[in-house]
A and B are shown apart, each in its own frame.
Chain A
Amino acid sequence: MAEDVLKSGNLPENPERATLEGRNKFMGFWFFLGGETVLFASLFGTYLALRNSSVDGPTGEEIFGLGLVFLMTVILLTSSLTSVYAMYHMKNNDFKKMQLWLGITVLLGFAFLGLEIYEFVHYVNDYGFGFTTSAFSTAFYSLVGFHGAHVAFGLVWIISLMIRNHKRGLNLYNAPKFYIASLYWHFIDVVWVFIFTVVYLMGKVG
């Protein structure tokens, strides 16, 4: 019976929640995201307290370029949408299409990460805005960097799931894994929306 969960094909309607293990994972991960929310809330609070403390270093208004950040936002939001497609195909038991859309999600994730690295390099080289420049710079790199590290982790996670399962297809054992990885991806996206607003928009305007 235990081995049944590794059989692919003929899955029930919500494969990610069909087993007790799956339900546990599903719920545990939601709670984990609750903890992550506090983590980012603490970082946002710290950032808000220090966002005007640039001392002699450059201010946000001087360095932020909304064009680039807007592009990053569009890319990441789109990647959330593509991961929704992937989960849609998972529920329809269409493994190939799920992998395809996950692949697109990963590509978009890499594009986002690449642009973020470009952005950081640009700040350091062209504005002398490094991690140690001011309290503002430390807070900025910590908040945005934490998010970036989450993106990188999510990419490694999704890719390893895709590679691990590409031969054997979907089953009751790995469906929850795919599902929570996609939940994680949405969470990262939501955090970015806040970063876009609080860091970049407020930095440029307010």
Chain B
Amino acid sequence: MSTTAEKKAGFGSVLWDYLTTVDHKKIAILYLVAGLFFFILGGLQAMLIRIQLIAPDNEFISAQFYNEVLTMHGTTMIFLAAMPLIFALMNAVLPLQIGARDVAFPFINSLGFWLFFFGGIFLNISWFAGGAPDVGWTAYAPLSLFSESHGVDYYSIGLQITGFGTLMGGINFIVTVVNMRAPGMTYMRMPLFTWTSFIASVLILFAFPALTVGLFLLTFDRLFGGNFFDPEMGGNVIIWEHLFWIFGHPEVYILILPAFGVFSEIIPTFSKKRLFGYSSMVFATILIAFLGFMVWAHHMFTVGLGPIANSIFAVATMAIAVPTGIKIFNWLFTMWGGSIRLTSPMVMALGFIPTFTIGGMTGVMLASAAADFQYHDTYFVVAHFHYVIVGGTVLGIFAGIIYWWPKMFGTMLNEKLNHWFFWLFFIGFHLTFFFQHFLGLMGMPRRYWKFLPDQGLDLFNLISTIGAFGMAIGTIIFLINVVMTQMKGEKVSGDPWDARTLEWAIPSPPPFYNFKQEPLVRGLDALWVEKMQGNGKIQPAEPLGDIHMPNRSFVPFVISLGLFIAGFGVMYQGAMWILAAIGFGTTAGAMLYRSVKDDIGYHVHKEELEEEGDGSNG
């Protein structure tokens, strides 16, 4: 919605454009809009939780509704807000950072979005169809088997569809990084956001299938009489926990690594220094990812795996603090002696470092298996993971959105409002969650609907709720900022932050083919190298020539819609089996169509490109 040509276009054609787009920059906008929508939804649920807990013995919402809201808050925030917002940043930035004209699989990229989207809608339809899932975002068996409404079925099928989408997105970015880098863009010249997104994609690839299987087992047990988790029939409830956390722990690193990457871009830009310890940053990222697969049982210390298993997992968990610490020090040393500009993304980075460090420290506390018997399932755990997820991932996402907003939309969010957003959100955040550490240590269990008076829990719960309102007001300011900025529509240059990496070498927003000529990369921080040693412009690696582009397609939408429809059939069965037939038929038909119909894309001809300008990338 950025170029004038499109502005003149009617609503219908813009809609069709987005429904069929395979352009990573537009898919980024789709992910951004959908992700923000679900972020707001999850935020409203959070406010309901906090209002219910504002005072002891409160009757604001019923116990059943509380369980639903709590479950949907966690599920929405992780799967439908944080993940897509990360994918929004990856789509918007990663191909540009490596000098690519598109991702490796534009079609699959779009399919990934629509699967995520329909899965999210499917999950939320549960609200209107007899009740949302009410067993926590972790859906532990056997509780999940006893939940009576179809809520948990909406959970398992909805997340299944969403998960397929995520998996495809992950594979797409892996291959994009491996195969699509511009000449001179060696692995060790890739910007750190690209590196962390790449590694996060590898984590997605190896972690999500475990969730896929877990969800299948849950679906089989609930809908088809399976016995995986039914002890009477020989089943074993712990299998779910293992599968869920074999996915779940890598998932938390999928969430945090791209945020690390965002800050590793922001801090050098606004310190006017190259990133300190670049290669150790890359190494630490890989190490975190590797260790991330060997620690899942730290979520299960109290299950009774035995002292030996608990000790091994405790030590492995603590080991992750080492590469994480390396990163923290590298960020600090990058700023050391730099000429720092306190723009809002930079201030957010400064807020992130101590906040995340606190979250890491409580993580190491939780990792002591013996002590965890005290902490487990209390508000201490809630405080821990909000420090790392909100203080790390969410801050990283918003810092990234603000930092790359000019690249995505060609406009600049108002800096004053950005600062207001940050401070309200940040102070509100610490008010909300800092005191939850103590609530947890005092023994307040997580996920309870009510707490009783005269237990010394009142004050901290009240403060926590007040803080939540601060976060909400901050978010509203951000949204107002977005609306105001887009209404004003003031254009900025291609490089408004005086930044260092390749994406800033092209106009904002970039033309649909990104780079007119493939760029030649001559070092880490490619643009900065040219600013210091060249004429400030990236040199082309090829003469001006035809550009090959992929065709748009409506098929990804249809494939995803089919699974969405089929989900109802599988769930309600009986006469509704017809829906499964229609849905799976639609999906299979669309896949077959895709397979047999040639789609070789088209070329933008050299002559058209010449008309558009001087042919440089500047």
Contacts and interface: CB of A to CB of B under 8 A. Distances in A.
Interface of A: 1-3, 5-6, 20, 23-24, 27-28, 31-32, 34-36, 38-39, 42-43, 45-46, 49-50, 53-55, 131-132, 134-139, 142, 157, 160-161, 164, 173, 177
Given A35-B209, A42-B246, A136-B234, A160 B596 contact: yes
B236 A42 contact: no
B167 interface: yes
Given A38-B210, A131-B225, A28 B600 contact: no
Contact of A135 (B180, B205, B213, B235): B235
Contact of B598 (A6, A27, A54, A135): A6
A53 B603 contact: no
Nearest to A168: B598
Interface residues of B, number: 49
Contacts of A136: 234
Nearest to A34: B205
Contact of A138 (B172, B226, B592, B596): B226
B591 to A, nearest CB: 9
Contacts of B598: 6, 173
Contacts of B180: 24
B572 interface: no
A137 B236 CA distance: 13
Contact of B233 (A35, A38, A135): A135
B458 interface: no
Contacts of A134: 227, 233-234
Interface string B523-551: 00000000000000000000000101000
A2 B206 contact: no
Given A1-B546, A50-B228, A135-B227, A42 B235 contact: no
B226 A6 contact: no
B217 interface: yes
Contacts of B602: 2
A170 to B, nearest CB: 14
B239 interface: yes
5 contacts: A31-B205, A35-B205, A38-B207, A50-B235, A139-B228
Contact of A6 (B235, B243, B600): B600
B227 A3 contact: no
Contacts of A39: 209-210, 212-213
Contact of A49 (B167, B239, B548): B239
Interface of B: 104-105, 108, 167, 171-172, 174-175, 178-180, 205-210, 212-214, 216-217, 220-221, 224-228, 230, 232-236, 239, 242-243, 246, 546, 548, 592, 595-596, 598, 600-603
A55 B595 contact: no
Top 3 closest pairs, chain A to chain B, by CB: A53-B234, A135-B234, A42-B213
Contacts of B214: 42
A39 B225 CA distance: 22
B277 to A, nearest CB: 29
Contacts of A173: 598, 600
Nearest to B595: A160
A15 to B, nearest CB: 15
A45 B167 CA distance: 21
Contacts of A160: 592, 595-596
B175 A2 contact: no
Contacts of A38: 205-207, 209-210
A24 B104 contact: yes
A63 B243 CA distance: 29
Contact of B226 (A20, A28, A53, A132): A132
B47 to A, nearest CB: 37
B266 to A, nearest CB: 30
Contacts of A32: 171
A142 B105 CA distance: 31
Contact of B175 (A1, A31, A131, A164): A31
B216 A142 contact: yes
Given A46-B228, A53-B234, A142-B220, A24 B246 contact: no
Contact of A164 (B172, B225, B596): B596
A46 B234 contact: no
